Amino acid sequence: MDSESSRSVDDAVSRLKDVPGGLLPILHAIQDDLGYVPQESVPVIAKALNLSRAEVHGVVSFYHHFRTAKPGRHVLQVCRAEACQSMGADKLAAHVRERLGIDFHETTADGNLTLEPVYCLGNCACAPSVMLDGEPQGRMTAERLEALIASVGAAR
């Protein structure tokens, strides 16, 4: 962990360690700031919360939301759930993987875009849906997706 990340972890831990059930809020604060939960933060959190490292690691790995590797500068989440499937989400997912040359949970070689699956964005009446950097996008087509990807300057 570089010193900046380390400071971010220390800050989250000192701010939230006394909150009841504070482990998830701490992990969220770290990921909100750094984009992921660095391995090296686990012992720091464990010590502050009086937990074992295994316990903290167990929580991080249980939840799909938490990443243990640094993501690209942008994150594209593609909904894979039923309502989006009914409107062609599988085809859209195949297209985006091909277009970017990566699979889900991978990042483009230029470090620009990470691709993740998501299971419903609550935008099921405007399917298929994706979310780019926390902003939902509905009625997605290959063309609109192309424009979205271009808007963050992602190459293959």
Partner 1 sequence: MSIKVYVPRDSSALSLGAEGVARAIGAEAARRGESVTVVRNGSRGMMWLEPLVEVETPTGRVGYGSVATADVAGLFDAGFLEGKAHPKSIGKVDSHPYLARQERLCFARMGVIDPLSYDDYAALGGWRGLRNAIAMKRVDAVAAVTTSGLRGRGGAAFPTGIKWKTVLETAADQKYIVCNADEGDSGTFSDRMTMEGDPFVLIEGMTIAAVATGATKGYIYVRSEYPHAERALIAAIAIAEQRGALGADVLGSGQRFDLEVRRGAGAYICGEETSLLESLEGKRGMVRYKPPVPAVSGLFGKPTVVNNVITFASLPVIFDRGAEFYRDYGMGRSRGTLPIQLTGNIKHGGLVEKAFGIPLRELLYDYGGGSATGRPIRAVQVGGPLGAFLPESQFDTPLDYEAFASIGAMVGHGGIVVFDDTVDMARMARYAMEFCAIESCGKCTPCRIGSTRGVETIDKIIAGRDVGADVAVLESLCDTMLHGSLCALGGMTPFPVLSALKHFPEDFGLDRDGLAVAA
Cβ atoms of 13 and 45 closer than 8 Å? yes
**One residue of 1, 24, 49, 120 binding ligand FES per CB under 6 A:** 120
Cβ atoms of 78 and 96 closer than 8 Å? yes
Angle between helices 53-62 and 23-34 (to 10 degrees): 70
Cβ contacts of 129-132, under 8 Å, gap ≥ 24: 129/79, 129/84, 130/76, 130/77, 130/78, 130/79, 130/92, 131/76, 131/77, 131/79, 132/74, 132/75, 132/76, 132/77
User: Does residue number 147 form part of the binding site for partner 1 (CB under 8 A)?
Assistant: no
Nearer Cβ to partner 1, position 3 or 135? Answer: 135
Nearer Cβ to ligand FES, position 48 or 127? Answer: 127
Smallest distance from the beta carbon of 49 to partner 1, in angstroms?
8
User: Does residue number 87 form part of the binding site for ligand FES (CB under 6 A)?
Assistant: no
**One residue of 26, 84, 92, 115 binding ligand FES per CB under 6 A:** 84
Total number of residues binding partner 1 (CB under 8 A)? Answer: 41
What residue ranges bind ligand FES (CB under 6 A)? 79, 81-84, 120-124, 127, 129
What residue ranges bind partner 1 (CB under 8 A)? 20-25, 27-28, 49, 58-59, 62-66, 81-87, 118-127, 129, 131, 134-139
